[in-house]
Structures are given as structure tokens and as C-alpha cells.
Amino acid sequence: MNCAKFEPLIALYVESDLPASEASVVETHLEGCAECREFAAEMRDSQAALKALRTDFVEEVVFQEVRAEVLNRVSMPRKQAAWPRYAIAAMLLMGLWVARLRFVRPAASLDVEPRAAVIATPPVTTVSAPHHRVRSPRVTRRRAFKSEPLLVKIVTDDPQVVIYWLVDQNGG
């Protein structure tokens, strides 16, 4: 083995990074090779200079800047993270409400009051006479200006009980 091949081994040997078996081979070579001994001495010097960087320091103000920036950035998203969730939840609720207005008509079941329902816009149109016979609710719908509220009048079997339901067609 020539000296050039020993250089990488010596680079490890000077810091005790070689297994014992390889270290003894290097030691044997160093005993008989002045050039490699000089290489090892230079390597120890440059390693000492390199390891002197271990005592590097950074001003405390630099650490403070890093900490402040990190803590600022980890606390900000938390504050911002809540409102989009609330906004999405609110939009979903509004969507459900609009869908209900558009697609779900008031319906009366066969055995549940009220027995009839009328949808009208002002002036209110009603079907006032409840029938004794059970029947499906009849629903009439008039065109209404979007700006006008929709008034639903629900007439029950009891003439004393009339339910009015005012609906804002603009989604309100």
C-alpha cells in the first residue's frame, strides 16, 4: 500500500475514528514513513484549527430575534385559524337554510296537525275551511317579487289556531 492510500486512513486515525485493526496498520506504517508522519502532524494541526470553531458564539440578541420571530409566527396562525372555520360553518348553515326554503315545502302528515297549508304572498291568501276528511295538503304558490317576504298561513282544525310564517326570500 502506498502513502497516498494511507491519507484517508490517517485523516480518521488522528481522531480515533478507525477500528483497532485498521489503526494498528496505520501505526505500523507511520513508524516507518516520515512523509506520512508529517502528513499526520499537519492533519492534527488543521483538525485543532477546525475544532477551535466549537467555541463559536452568537450574540444573545440574535437568539432573541429568532425566538421572537418563531413565537410570533406560531401564535398568529392560531388566531387566524378560528375564523375561517366559523365562516365555513356559517356558510354551510346558510346553504342548508336556502336549500330548505327552495326545495322543502311545508307538508302535513296524515295524522299531524296542521291539516292544510297555504303559501301566499301579501296580501295573504288562505284556504280557510279545514276539511273533516283527511287529505294531502294542497299547496299553491304565487309568484312573488324577490324583495317581498313570503307569508305562509297554516290553518288548523281549530279555527282559533292559525299559524303565520313569514319568510324572507332574499335568504335572510
Partner 1 sequence: MQELALLMEAGGVDARDEELIRLVRQAKAGDTAAFETILVRYQRQVLLTALRLLNRNLEDAKDAAQQVFLRLHRSLHQLDENRHFASWLYRITVNVCRDMLRARRPALSLEEAGEVAAAAGEDTIQQDEQRRMIYAALATLPERERTAVVLRDLEGLTTSEVARIMGRSEVTVRSQISNARVKIRKFVIRRQRRPL
Q: Which residues in this chain contact partner 1 in the complex, by CB under 8 A?
A: 7-9, 11-12, 14-15, 17, 42-43, 45-47, 49-54, 56-59, 62-63, 65-67, 69-71, 73-75
Q: Which residues, in sequence order, are bridge partners of residue 151?
A: 120, 166
In whole angstroms, the minimum distance from the beta carbon of 37 to partner 1 comes to: 14
By beta-carbon proximity to partner 1, the closer residue of 71 and 91 is 71
Examine residue 114 and say whether the peptide bond preceding it is cis (omega within 30 degrees of 0): yes
Angle subtended at Cα 113 by Cα 111 and Cα 114, rounded to the nearest 5 degrees: 130
Asked if residue 9 lies in contact with residue 41, where contact means CB atoms within 8 angstroms, the answer is no
Q: Closest distance between partner 1 and the C-beta of residue 68, in Å?
A: 10
Residue among 46 and 128 whose Cβ is closer to partner 1: 46
Q: Residue with C-alpha cell 296537525?
A: 113
CB 46 → partner 1: shortest distance, Å?
4
When the beta carbons of 11 and 101 are compared against partner 1, the nearer one is 11
- Listed residue (102, 113, 109) closest to 141, CA to CA: 102
Q: Whole-number minimum distance, CB 8 to partner 1, in Å?
A: 4
